[in-house]
């Protein structure tokens, strides 16, 4: 993994390979969804690399030993609807006991500004670490709005996970929330005039759900 500041680029060969398959326009809905799941699970390993552990005494069938387990209250994965759901499933495969929050934001097609229509989080958020997931960090409007809203709940920490971003999205997040690390599987060239990432992979939500 390489890291610049708050940006963590996960450059594992398996991730690069699966991202290339994901981007291809021929990939079917089934393939696309499966790949998003697989990449999300791989990304989860890096995102959770620094979670604190505590010692626990256990008994194996042979003797007593001290093992290590993740410390503190259960993590919270927050999915930005609707495309975040694809990543969420892959991350839950790796951390099945995580709590889940949802935030509904849509992009106003004219202004590209994020408008909130749903917000539901687990309790005790101030005692939990939050990982926000959305496949695309494009203009950054949704990501910034989601972090703004989550910060009102005062979680212990916030990380942001996407599969693909671009310089504009990274800059927007860094400007608004320099304290929030961004994890991504790739950084593409640029945004187009409609707020799509180039070369990108198209509309992630439509490709995950087969709605186009
Ligand atoms: N959202 C998408 O689904 N795709 C993009 O390229 C940008 C935002």
Residue 202 annotated as lining a ligand binding site: yes
pTM assigned to the model: 0.92
The radius of gyration of the chain from alpha carbons, rounded to an integer in Å, stands at: 18
Q: What percent of the chain has pLDDT over 70?
A: 98
Instruction: Note the Cα 6 to chain centre separation in Å.
Output: 14
Which residue's CA is the closest to the ligand 1 atom numbered 5?
Answer: 196
89 secondary structure, DSSP code: H
Burial code (b: 16+ CB inside 10 Å, e: under 16) for 164-177 equals bbbebbbebbbeeb
- Over residues 95-124, the pLDDT tens digits come to 999 999 999 988 777 887 788 999 999 989
User: What mean pLDDT value characterizes the chain?
Assistant: 93
Q: Is 207 annotated as a binding residue?
A: no
Active site residue ranges: 107, 111, 203, 206
Report the DSSP pairing between strands 64-70 and 190-191.
unpaired
SS3 24: coil
* Ordered domains of the chain (ranges, CATH): 2-50+73-209 (3.40.50.2020)
**Is pLDDT at 185 greater than 80 in this prediction?**
yes
| Closest by Cα among 84, 99, 100 to 37 | 84
Q: State the Cα–Cα distance between residues 83 and 43, nearest whole angstrom.
A: 16
Indicate which atom in ligand 1 lies nearest the CA of residue 198.
Answer: 6
Phi, psi of 9 (to 5 degrees): -95, 120
The predicted pLDDT at position 74 comes to: 86
Give mean pLDDT, residues 33-53: 95
| Close Cβ partners of 132 (under 8 Å, ≥ 6 residues apart) | 78, 80, 84, 103, 143, 146, 147, 150, 158, 159, 160, 161
Taking residues 137-148, what's their average pLDDT?
95
The CB of 204 under 6 Å from ligand 1? The reply is yes
Tell me the C-alpha distance between 171 and 173, whole Å.
Answer: 5
CA–CA gap between residue 43 and residue 1 (Å, rounded): 10
Q: Which ligand 1 atom minimizes the distance to the CA of 204?
A: 3
- The Cα 37–Cα 183 span in angstroms is 16
CB-ligand 1 contact for 197 (6 Å cutoff): yes
């Amino acid at each position: 993994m390489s890291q610049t500041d708050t940006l963590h680029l996960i450059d594992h060969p398996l991730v690069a390979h699966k991202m290339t398959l994901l981007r291809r326009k021929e990939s079917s809905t089934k393939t696309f969804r499966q790949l998003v799941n697989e990449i999300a699970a791989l990304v989860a390993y890096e995102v959770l690399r620094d979670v604190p552990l505590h010692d626990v005494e256990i008994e194996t069938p042979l003797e007593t030993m001290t093992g290590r387990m993740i410390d503190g209250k259960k993590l919270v994965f927050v999915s930005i609807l609707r495309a975040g759901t694809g990543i969420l499933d892959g991350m839950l495969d790796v951390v099945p006991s995580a709590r889940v929050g949802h935030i509904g934001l849509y992009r106003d097609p004219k202004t590209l500004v994020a408008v909130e229509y749903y917000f539901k989080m687990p309790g005790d958020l101030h005692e939990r670490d939050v990982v926000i997931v959305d496949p695309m960090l494009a203009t950054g409007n949704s990501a910034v709005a989601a972090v703004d809203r989550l910060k009102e709940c005062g979680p212990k920490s916030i990380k942001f996970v996407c599969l693909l971003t671009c310089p504009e999205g990274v800059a927007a997040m860094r400007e608004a929330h320099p304290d929030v690390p961004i994890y991504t599987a790739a950084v593409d060239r640029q945004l187009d005039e409609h707020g799509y990432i180039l070369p990108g992979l198209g509309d992630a939500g439509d490709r995950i759900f087969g709605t186009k």
